[in-house]
């Protein structure tokens, strides 16, 4: 399908981009990689009168590792996979991005675009929630930082105001020795997840799990952490029995819906298996 008619702007500064968006009062859209917005426009799910291209904005393509990891909003999937530093600085992020889309899309799609698009089956929203990341945004009211847990309000719906642009995604430091796992089931490698799990925990001085984080993708209208499953893990030795209990607690904690891809019962069972496998990988 052809796109609806729209005006196009390619500003050179963040301030100009924000004022272009603000002037249309919700009828303008930023474009980064275009891998979600262009299909949405082709299907008339979105028809902004103005598209504001972010590609010339300075400083948004950088990956900074300074204790934590900071990803500029225009960092692409390919940039993450090509940056050898990230394998140590945030291996869970890299593991998840390995499942994002296909070769051509990875060359264009960006982390900021994925977060703003807020597909509940996408990997990056799940990772930012699982890892307590923060989203830095700038709009006409100024700059603010939104905790990932407060950012996603539902499928394709976020806390972003229409004039706000994501500038950076900030991950807390990743300590050496942290155990982690990412598991996803999709119909084909690179498709959106039917269900996925991102887990990590640290090991305390007595050899028990601490600071457990269990995030799941594709089983609700937004990515989520599962405190009931984290409680099973925290303070316990991670062995086969504990992993089986955590998997059962996962299936009990989610409320997926039937859709064209899978029944709710299948997803409920599948996400338990994803957590089981992710914890198995972490423990190994």
Given the rule CB under 6 A, which residues bind ligand FAD?
Answer: 29-37, 39, 54, 73, 100-101, 105, 108-110, 112-114, 116-117, 122-124, 160, 165-166, 190-192
Q: In this complex, which beta carbon is closest to ligand FAD, that of residue 123 or of residue 276?
A: 123
Q: In this complex, which beta carbon is closest to ligand FAD, that of residue 103 or of residue 176?
A: 103
Q: In this complex, which beta carbon is closest to ligand FAD, that of residue 53 or of residue 132?
A: 53
d(CA 48, CA 215): 33
Q: How far is the CB of 203 from ligand FAD (least distance, A)?
A: 30
Q: How far is the CB of 74 from ligand FAD (least distance, A)?
A: 7
- Which secondary structure element, helix H or strand E, spans residue 251, and what is its range? helix 240-253
Q: In this complex, which beta carbon is closest to ligand FAD, that of residue 157 or of residue 257?
A: 157
Q: How far is the CB of 194 from ligand FAD (least distance, A)?
A: 11
Per-state percent for the chain, helix, strand, coil, to nearest 5: 35, 25, 40
d(CA 185, CA 191): 9
Q: In this complex, which beta carbon is closest to ligand FAD, that of residue 100 or of residue 246?
A: 100
Q: In this complex, which beta carbon is closest to ligand FAD, that of residue 190 or of residue 280?
A: 190
d(CA 124, CA 268): 21
d(CA 136, CA 128): 12
Q: How far is the CB of 239 from ligand FAD (least distance, A)?
A: 33
Q: How far is the CB of 133 from ligand FAD (least distance, A)?
A: 15
Q: How far is the CB of 21 from ligand FAD (least distance, A)?
A: 9
260: phi then psi, degrees, rounded to nearest 5? -65, -20
Task: Please choose, from the candidates 47, 105, 109, 121, the residue with its C-alpha nearest in 3D space to the C-alpha of residue 274.
Answer: 121
Phi-psi region of 87 (alpha: psi -120 to 50; beta: other; left: phi over 0): alpha
Q: Please name the residue that has the structure tokens 């059962």.
A: 248
């Amino acid at each position: 399908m052809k796109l609806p008619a729209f005006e196009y702007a390619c500003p050179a500064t963040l301030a100009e981009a924000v004022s272009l968006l603000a002037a249309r009062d919700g009828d303008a859209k930023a474009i980064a990689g275009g891998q979600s917005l262009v299909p949405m426009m082709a299907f008339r799910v979105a028809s902004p009168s103005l598209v504001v291209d972010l590609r010339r904005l300075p400083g948004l393509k950088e990956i900074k590792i300074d204790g934590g990891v900071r990803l500029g909003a225009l960092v692409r999937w390919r940039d993450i996979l090509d940056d050898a530093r990230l394998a140590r600085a945030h291996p869970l992020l890299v593991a998840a991005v390995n499942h994002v889309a296909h070769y051509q899309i990875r060359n264009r799609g960006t982390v900021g675009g994925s977060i703003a698009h807020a597909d509940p089956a996408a990997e990056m929203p799940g990772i930012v929630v699982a890892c307590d990341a923060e989203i830095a945004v700038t709009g006409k009211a100024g700059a603010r930082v939104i905790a990932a847990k407060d950012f996603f309000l539902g499928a394709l719906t976020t806390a972003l105001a229409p004039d706000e642009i994501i500038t950076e995604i900030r991950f807390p430091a990743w300590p050496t020795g942290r155990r982690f796992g990412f598991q996803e089931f999709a119909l084909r490698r690179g498709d959106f997840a039917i269900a996925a799990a991102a887990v990590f925990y640290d090991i305390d001085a007595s050899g028990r799990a601490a600071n457990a984080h269990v995030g799941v993708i594709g089983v609700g209208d937004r990515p989520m952490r599962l405190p009931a499953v984290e409680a099973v893990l925290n303070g316990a030795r991670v062995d086969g029995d504990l992993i089986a209990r955590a998997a059962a607690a996962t299936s009990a904690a989610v409320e997926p819906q039937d859709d064209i891809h899978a029944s709710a019962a299948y997803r409920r069972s599948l996400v338990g298996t994803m957590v089981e496998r992710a914890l198995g990988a972490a423990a190994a």
